[in-house]
Amino acid sequence: MKVSLHAPTCSHTGTQLVHKITSVNTNLPALQTPLSGHAAAKQHGKSKRGHSARRAMAASSGASATATSAPPTNQTAPIPELSVEIRRDTAVLEAASEGAPGGRARAYVLGVSHVSRESCEEAAELIRAVRPDVVVLELCKDRLRLLLDQENPGKRLWHTPRVKISGLPEGEAWPTPDQLISLLRTAPGRPVATQDIEADCSRLLETGLFSRARPTTQLPMATQAPNYVRDLDGHLNPVIPLNQVEFTVTERKLPKLVSFTLRVDSSLGESLQLPEEASVQLCSEALEAGAAGSTAEACLRMLPKLEALAAASVQGQDVEVVYRGIESGQIEAVFKAATPESLARPYRTGLEGSAVGGEGPGIEPFRPNRGPLQLSKNLIIENLAKVLEVAPETIDTVADTAVVGEGAETGNVWRPWSDEEAQQAIEKENEEEEEKSSWSEQFAMALTSAYAVQQSAAAAKCGVPSGEVWRTALETASNVGTKQVHMGDLPSNVMAQRLGDGVWRAALIGAGLVVVAASTAIAGELTHRLPEGTEALAAGGVAATALLAAFPIVSPLVQIWLLAQKPKEEIEDIVRMKEPLQGKNMDAPVEIWGEDALLQWPGARQPIITERDAYMARTIWSAATGTPASPAYIADNDAGMRVWRYVIPQGGPPAAAPPGYGDGEYQPAAPVSSVVAIVGTAHVRGIVREWERIEGRAECLQSLNGLLGEGSF
């Protein structure tokens, strides 16, 4: 099918954008019906390639295009009214999407600066206006940390894929771990606070079966990621992963069973008449069970039989059985009208009355032992500072999280990993950690880390903590009903290796020049070929050559440092776009002074811009068409809370979305009518150009795997 790229002409003439554009077009009309322009004409010549139907529309237009208007999209949702700044900084693309209005999905690609407060505001404004099904961020599985606000970590909440009960006595009468876990607030994948874990110890003691209950936790594995939960104010709180929460219990030692009788409580009136013969038989069985085992086990063994007797003897009324007199061994099984609370309990023992609040004869109550700024000493969280990497604070609860109505739907389908799948991922991760990074990769990481320090300093001048634009996008998406937020960038480890190779080779070439110059000077000195008195000149030449070789490496660091020295207003002005990102100058690179200085590193443009543009164009297209490509945060409801879970796409590329990571695997959202992508300004035009080359689902996945190094591209 034919693919058309429609971009309007632009009234702003401007030159190639490689530094600061000096004028601003403030007469940009609202986004309306797409117009054909030079990009559409270029694409028309490529129609024989059989591309799937899709259309790129102008995010801004000035004068009328010279070509005719594109065919109307009929039922396609209208483009919302947006501010001049949003239209200037956004490219709008289209792709065929089955089930979407008009059969097409729109992708709004917003270019942002990582140091700008204005960019954070624009991201929130665009997401609120479009209310997209999916948001795509310029993040990957290796950069999820940027979604955590290190300066304001929020409430201390946890989630774990595994909850374990240990110490249970053997015997068929005893509850299974799953039956006990059903009583707890702590459950696989559910956000809980420290206070909830502690309270679960009391819940276990309240069964009346145990004398002691203590929790322990394990540090998260590298395959796990933070989740997020929305509070009543619409803010997202991180939910830090723990590999496992384990509750260790000790059997309660009750006095030996001496006697066992049955009684009907007055709450049942005359509705229950126990048959005498059956009653005598059950009392005899109870005494035999008590003689053969513990009193608690005898009570558990008899409970289902007593409940069956009541069910056979009374109609139309719920009956529960509770045990009295356990402290003396003279037990009375009382039949009484069931309360709503008892009926709501997923598992009952009949001994709950002897352990109200987790206290009673033979029970060691769980007492959190903490000061106002300390965690309970009974709650063993190993290396807590390493888990959160923030200072301790008062204990939090999940009481003020946003309540989701029962039956509320998110539109997402996902499943948790099995223990085997999760363990395989852990083993693979451990194997990869043992592989040492190459010198070139370490060199590139050192350079980018130094660059990031100065970039963060510039962002701090504008009141923008590291990763703020991504957190703003995720939180806004949560508040407008977005289904999924995809991490759509090329994985950092892939990019770093390629960047390192390019920069390292350039550094070696530069070092070679120094060696050649030094060798020439030394050889000349040894053979007396240098004229007398020119030794200092030769040494100066060597130093100058060394500086010349190092300049391409050092210059970007100096430039970003200079940007960080400027006042807030000047920084915002420097990184602010001065012409539309989608218009006549689509082939002109966008390179903002200071912020994009790292592109000056030798060999940096290909891995940092070209390959990532190609990759993100395809992950955005995948989000719009329901193609599995990117790891994502998806909206989920758990125990009345709206939780954003980190999950892996079913059938996605393993190098970017490895199975076994996060909470589980998800199915792409469908149908999708709109997508908002938040990317760096320098990527927008390349994404638009790459959009033209996507030929469908098979080509998209093949190209993604090729860019990941798993095939040809």
- What was the pLDDT predicted at 339? 92
Q: Under DSSP, is residue 219 helix (H, G, I), strand (E, B) or coil?
A: coil
Q: Tell me the per-residue pLDDT of 317-357, one tens digit each, with 9 for 90 and over.
A: 899 999 999 999 999 999 999 999 999 999 999 999 999 99
- How many angstroms separate the Cα of 607 from the Cα of each of 178, 381, 454? 49, 41, 21
Phi, psi of 596 (to 5 degrees): -105, 20
- Phi, psi values for residue 698, rounded to 5°: -65, -45
Burial-class residue 695 by CB neighbours within 10 Å (0-12, 13-18, 19+). middle
Query: What structural domains and CATH numbers belong to the chain?
Result: 4-149+411-493+590-707 (no CATH), 157-252+365-388 (3.10.20.310), 259-358 (no CATH)
The Cα angle at residue 259 between residues 255 and 260, in degrees rounded to 5? 110
For every residue of 522-537, which 3-state class applies, written as one string? Answer: HHHHHCCCCCCCCHHH
Question: Phi/psi of residue 628, each to 5°?
Answer: -70, 120
Residue 506: what pLDDT?
62
- CB of 57 within 8 A of CB of 78? no
Alpha carbons within 13 A on the beta-carbon side of 178 = 0
Cβ atoms of 392 and 220 within 8 Å: the answer is no
Do residues 297 and 210 touch, judged by C-beta distance below 8 A? no
Query: How many other CB atoms are found less than 10 A from the CB of residue 56?
Result: 30
Q: Which residues contact 670 (CB under 8 A, 6 or more apart)?
A: 98, 99, 626
Residues 355 and 309 sit within 8 Å (Cβ to Cβ): no
What kind and span of H or E run contains 463?
none
Pairing outcome for strands 210-218 and 319-324: unpaired
**Closest to 478 (Cα-Cα) out of 415, 417, 401, 413:** 401
Q: What is the pLDDT of residue 515?
A: 42
Q: Which helix (H) or strand (E) holds 150?
A: none
Cβ–Cβ under 8 Å, residues 231 and 402: yes
The whole-number pLDDT of residue 551 equals 57
Distance CA 225, CA 204 (A): 29
Is 516 within 8 Å of 554 (Cβ atoms)?
Answer: no
Task: State which residues of the chain have pLDDT below 50.
Answer: 1-74, 371-395, 510-531, 534, 537-538, 541-549, 711-713
In angstroms, the Cα distances linking 461 to 147, 556, 564 are 20, 19, 7
pTM of structure: 0.79
- Give 286-313 as a 3 state SS string: HHHHHHHCCHHHHHHHHHHHHHHHHHHH
Phi first, then psi: what are they for 60, rounded to 5°? -160, 150
Q: Given this model, what pLDDT does residue 39 score?
A: 39
Q: What one-character DSSP code corresponds to residue 191?
A: -
